[in-house]
Amino acid sequence: MSPSIGLPYILPLLPPFLAKYPRIKPEWHFENRPVDLIAENYDAAIGGAFDLTPGLVSRKLAPVHVVVVASPAYMSGRTPPTDPSELAVFNGIVMRSLHTGRIRQWMFRSAKGIEVAGTLTETIVVNDPAAMREAARLGLGVSLIALFDVLPELERGDLIRLLPNWYADAGAISLYYASRTHISAKTRVFVDFVVNAFKSERLDLRFASSLG
C-alpha cells in the first residue's frame, strides 16, 4: 500500500488486517499538518478536519470529544474544578494549532446542555497530542485533550478526568480516501476493514465523552 496517514490509536487494527491481507504492504505516515491526499499520492487518511476537495470521500468513524485530565499526583492537595470557568487556576498544558499558530480555545458543554468556556493558563505549550498526554501524566499540569488520546491512561488510573460531566465537541475522526469510482482494490479492503473494526469494537461509543 502506498503511503497513508494514521493515528496511534489505529495501530492495534494492523495485525488482524495484515493477517487477512498478507500481500498488502502498508506504509504509515503520522502527520500533524494539513495534507492533500490526492496531490501527495496517499491512498487513505484517518484523522479529522480534512478539506473535502473534489474527488475526496469521508466516512465518519467516531466523535472527537475533548476532556479535562490531570495526573493523580498533580491533583493531590488541589481542589478539583466544579465547572470549566475554574480551569485558569491550574498549570495548563496546551497545544498550538499548526493551522493558525494560536492556542486552541474550547467551549465546553455539560450533560444538561449548558455551555461554558474553558481556558487554561499557558504553562507548557506543545504541538502534539502525545506530548500533551505525557506532560499531564508526568504531573506537569492540566490538559484539554481528545478522549481517544488518553483513554488507556484513564482506564489504568495514570490520569484522572476532571469535570466528568463536561466535554468540548471537536468534530469527528473520519476515514478519507479518493472517490469511490477510482478507489483501488487494496484501498477498498482497507476502508471496509477499518469501518467494520470500529463498529465491532464499538470504538465510536468508547470515544464518546458520556462513556469516558
Angle at 84 between CA 79 and CA 89, to 5 degrees: 50
Residue 4 pLDDT grade (very low, low, confident, very high; cuts 50, 70, 90): very low
Q: Indicate if the pLDDT at residue 197 is higher than 90.
A: no
What's the CA gap between 143 and 26, in Å, rounded?
Answer: 33
Domain(s) of CATH 3.40.190.290: residues in the chain: 64-169
CATH topology classification for 64-169: D-Maltodextrin-Binding Protein; domain 2 (3.40.190)
Q: Indicate if the pLDDT at residue 33 is higher than 80.
A: no
Q: Among the listed ranges 29-43, 125-139, 195-209, which one has the minimum average pLDDT value?
A: 29-43
Domain(s) of CATH 3.40.190.10: residues in the chain: 4-62+170-211
C-alpha closest to that of 66 among 165, 5, 146: 146
Residue range 157-169: average pLDDT?
95
Q: Indicate if the pLDDT at residue 53 is higher than 80.
A: no
What does the pLDDT read at residue 3? 40
Q: Indicate if the pLDDT at residue 7 is higher than 90.
A: no
For the entire predicted model, the pTM comes to 0.79
What does the pLDDT read at residue 121? 92
C-alpha closest to that of 48 among 36, 37, 58: 58
Of residues 153 and 14, more confidence is placed in 153
**Grid cell at residue 6:** 494514521
What's the CA gap between 25 and 205, in Å, rounded?
Answer: 30
What does the pLDDT read at residue 212? 42
What's the CA gap between 205 and 139, in Å, rounded?
Answer: 28
Written out in words, the top-level CATH class of the domain with range 4-62+170-211 is alpha beta
Inter-residue contact 18 to 24 (CB < 8 Å) = yes
Cβ neighbourhood burial of 6 (10 Å; 0-12, 13-18, 19+): buried
**Average pLDDT for the chain:** 85
